[in-house]
Amino acid sequence: MGPQRVREGFVELYGAEPEGVWAAPGRVNLIGEHTDYNDGFVMPFALPHVTVAALARRTDGLLRLHSADIDDGAGKPVELRVEELTPESGDGWTAYPAGVVWALRAAGHAVTGADVHLASTVPAGAGLSSSAALEVVVALALNDLFELGLRGWQLARLCQRAENIYVGAPTGIMDQTASACCEAGHALFLDTRDLSQRQIPFDLVSQGMRLLVVDTRVKHAHSDGEYGKRRAGCEKGAALLGVDALRDIPYDELDAALGRLGDEAEVRRLVRHIVTENHRVERVVSLLRAGDARAIGPVLTEGHISLRDDFRISCPELDLVVDTANASGALGARMTGGGFGGSAIVLAEEAGVPSLTKAIEDAFAAAGFTAPRVFEAVPSAGARRLSRAA
């Protein structure tokens, strides 16, 4: 849904023009999976799919929230009072934007209320971070309207607090930083320890390649609990190895570290994934900087095997995408995002896209799986203001 439609929706709901319209994208993680809560490296890029929000300030303490994508039948905004927002009060989709207002106010920023109407083209629950797009678009708009002067990485941090504490979803800092800070034609190399970032040129189209996103349209129900277990296992590994975070184990000391973990078989597997995955991010950065994007394909596939066999968060649908793609001429493929469903990415020669897409669709049909959604992802811009008051 375009910005004009969101503006019109705002006027219909609230009977006045918004003060502006903002957009924040979903993201795909190119490489660096589950490294973000281990102080490690990640490398997302922004999708062309965005959440668009129209906002106007209020000074009476009222926060009114409406999403064109949520059909609650009433066609009316949800009304909350900013001073009554507490992490215990969050409920449903409004917890994401309300959590952002709560986090801003808790950090001492005078956000006195707002009217919000939004709509999104980011598929929700597909591992493409519709939640971060929603948080970041609201945070950026409030930052502009209330002249808070916060930078992208600071907004990302506050959005993460909103999601962790107000929504109650344990996530790292990657999704919000990607949505807030990515640039078109680039992937974002982010060190999640000190939040330093580098924009890495990632223009596949001019080199005759494409990146496909395959949304499996499944989300296995136990994924949240499994995330918590992996996180706890990584923390245990770091404690056993006497480091602050698994990021502190250098790649060339991996074997020694695994030796010290003795018969802790599960922790060993988790540690091996994190240490090799950080190394893979660094390899992808070097290859892209050297202009050798084709060579990242096998690194992506290695990453998938590590997530499947060591971290054990893949599922039959994700494995089928990767196996089919690699058997059908892809340069490489991997699951992306938290795992147990969601999406996979496939790096392909441009000419191979139609046959690869068909091969994946056929394989899903033959396996009796829900038809996947396949689309090309072009690295796109991060959050931005689209327009000012009319």
What is the contact surface with ligand ADP in residues (CB under 6 A)? 51, 67, 69-70, 93, 96, 118, 120, 124-131, 134
| CB 52, CB 23: distance < 8 Å | yes
71 is catalytic: no
Determine the residue with CB nearest Mg ion.
131
Quick count: other Cβ atoms within 10 Å of Cβ 238?
Answer: 21
Which one of the listed residues 36, 39, 115, 175 is annotated catalytic?
175
Phi and psi for 203 in degrees, rounded to 5?
A: -110, 95
Rounded to the nearest whole angstrom, what is the least distance from the CB of residue 307 to ligand ADP in the complex?
17
Torsion angle defined by CA atoms of residues 74, 79, 85 and 89, in that order, rounded to the nearest 10 degrees = -20
Q: How many CA atoms lie within 13 A of 11 on its CB side?
A: 11
Rounded to the nearest whole angstrom, what is the least distance from the CB of residue 14 to ligand ADP in the complex?
17
- Indicate the residue among 137 and 288 with the shorter CB distance to ligand ADP: 137
Using the rule CB under 5 A, is 306 a contact of Mg ion?
Answer: no
CA 159 to chain centre: 12
Task: Calculate the alpha carbon distances from 261 to 38, 214, 238, 269 in Å.
Answer: 17, 37, 10, 10
Beta strands in 183-285 (DSSP E): 186-191, 197-201, 209-219
The residue among 3, 77, 2, 1 whose CA lies nearest residue 390 is: 3
Rounded to the nearest whole angstrom, what is the least distance from the CB of residue 341 to ligand ADP in the complex?
10
Using the rule CB under 5 A, is 176 a contact of Mg ion?
Answer: no
Select from Mg ion, ligand ADP, none the partner in contact with residue 326, using the beta carbon and a kind-dependent cut-off of 5 to 8 Å.
none
Select from Mg ion, ligand ADP, none the partner in contact with residue 85, using the beta carbon and a kind-dependent cut-off of 5 to 8 Å.
none
3-class DSSP state of 380: strand
Using the rule CB under 5 A, is 131 a contact of Mg ion?
Answer: yes
Select from ligand ADP, Mg ion, none the partner in contact with residue 305, using the beta carbon and a kind-dependent cut-off of 5 to 8 Å.
none
CA 354 to chain centre: 27
Total residues binding Mg ion (CB under 5 A): 2
- Indicate the residue among 106 and 124 with the shorter CB distance to Mg ion: 124
- Indicate the residue among 174 and 331 with the shorter CB distance to ligand ADP: 174
Binding site for Mg ion (CB under 5 A): 129, 131
Active site residue ranges: 175
